[in-house]
């Protein structure tokens, strides 16, 4: 059964009145693949743009078992205690066979989910790579329009490919598990170089020695990383959700970062680049949707796939032929 779609005014008024149920429904609308839902969602977001105020966007990633949900639940309360309204967008991996997703993050943040100053919305990653969902950007704006001035995006947490979130947030945080086997050779490249800050989790009890080593290794490795374009030197902080150690230090790091980036003009520059990245990403989505929803193009694509599989046509030639047909059908 399809989900009920409401008039534009319903979503618009509900979001501006900070109705969480309507906000969740608006995010579901944005995630819909139906053309009419996409049109309504786009109109809604455009109308809400003047009401979106200053916010801070934090992306968090880390390997499974690092304690992302536990950290977010504890740190979310720190954000609220500082006087902010926090929205948490969690991304759960989708099965490539069934396309289903457990969407269990809300149950793993039971205390935070009950806080009136917090909103938690799980989404399935679907076929989207990079650790985020297909409509994470839209969900961020909808949350901000609803008055949440701190938006936290938790990625799937399945590897080095989770860098797309960096193009959506102001600060990209990587959680590190003590004693997980990272050494200097393993932390020089990829996602490590993109992080604005590192948080060593579970720094308590028997893990303390391992946490100290992980922090020392990271701090040493920072000298080997290339300089960031934003002139920011990443910091390494130990935390424990059990003892609450380091949570205030993480908050201070984010405040210092925002002040630093605002003064040098990079905060606004980064937001502008995010808008451009969104435009390019959505343009690609429109092209793919056009092919998927056009019977002639779809049939041609299926025929070309058979020719490529039979070695009758090279992939480059097949793609070029499909693209030419796409151009002729505009």
CA distance 71 to 175: 9
Integer CA distances (angstroms), 4 to 18, 31, 312, in order: 20, 13, 47
Closest to 20 in 3D by CA, of 145, 180, 195? 145
The predicted-structure confidence for 115-168, as pLDDT tens digits, reads as follows 999 999 987 654 444 334 468 899 999 999 999 999 999 986 655 445 678 889
- Which runs of E-coded beta strand occur in the chain? 56-61, 86-92, 118-124, 150-154, 171-176, 197-200, 235-238
Same domain, residue pair 99 and 141: yes
Residue 269 lies in a domain: no
Cα Dmax for the chain: 66
Alpha-helix residue ranges (DSSP H) falling in 17-131: 20-31, 35-48, 68-81, 105-108, 110-113
Q: Which of 238, 264, 290 is the last residue of a domain?
A: 264
**Last residue within a domain, chosen from 264, 286, 310:** 264
3-state secondary structure of 97: coil
pTM of the prediction? 0.85
pLDDT digits (tens, 9 = 90+) for 33-83: 888 998 999 999 999 999 988 899 999 988 888 999 999 999 999 999 999
Q: How far apart are CA 146 and CA 125, in angstroms?
A: 23
197 and 224 co-located in one domain: yes
Residues 104 and 215 in one domain: yes
Q: Which domain holds residue 284?
A: 275-328
Q: Quick one: 35 and 119 in the same domain?
A: no
């Amino acid at each position: 059964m399809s989900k009920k779609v409401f008039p534009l005014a319903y979503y618009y008024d509900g979001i501006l009145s900070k109705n969480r149920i309507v906000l969740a429904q608006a995010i579901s609308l944005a995630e819909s693949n139906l053309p009419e839902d996409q049109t309504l969602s786009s109109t809604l977001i455009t109308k809400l743009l003047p009401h979106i105020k200053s916010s801070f966007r934090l992306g968090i990633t880390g390997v499974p078992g690092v304690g992302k949900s536990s950290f977010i639940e504890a740190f979310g309360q720190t954000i609220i205690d500082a006087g902010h309204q926090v929205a948490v967008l969690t991304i759960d991996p989708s099965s490539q066979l069934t396309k289903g997703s457990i969407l269990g993050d809300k149950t793993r943040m039971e205390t935070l989910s009950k806080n009136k100053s917090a909103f938690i919305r799980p989404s399935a990653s679907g076929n989207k790579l990079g650790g985020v969902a297909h409509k994470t950007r839209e969900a961020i704006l909808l949350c901000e329009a609803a008055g949440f001035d701190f938006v936290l995006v938790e990625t799937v947490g399945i590897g080095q490919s989770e860098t797309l979130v960096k193009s959506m947030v102001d600060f990209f945080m990587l959680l590190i598990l003590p004693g997980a086997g990272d050494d200097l050779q393993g932390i020089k490249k990829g996602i490590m170089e993109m992080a604005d800050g590192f948080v060593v989790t579970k720094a308590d009890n028997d893990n303390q020695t391992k946490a100290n080593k992980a922090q020392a290794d990271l701090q040493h490795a920072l000298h080997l990383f290339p300089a960031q374009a934003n002139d920011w030197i990443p910091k390494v902080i130990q935390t424990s959700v059990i003892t609450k150690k380091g949570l205030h230090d993480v908050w201070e790091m984010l405040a210092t970062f925002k002040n630093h980036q605002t003064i040098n003009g990079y905060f606004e520059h980064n937001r502008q680049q995010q808008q451009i990245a969104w435009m390019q990403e959505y343009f690609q989505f429109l092209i793919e949707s056009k092919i998927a929803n056009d019977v002639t193009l779809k049939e041609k694509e299926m025929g070309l796939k058979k020719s490529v599989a039979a070695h009758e046509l090279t992939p480059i030639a097949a793609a070029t032929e499909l693209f030419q047909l796409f151009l002729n059908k505009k």
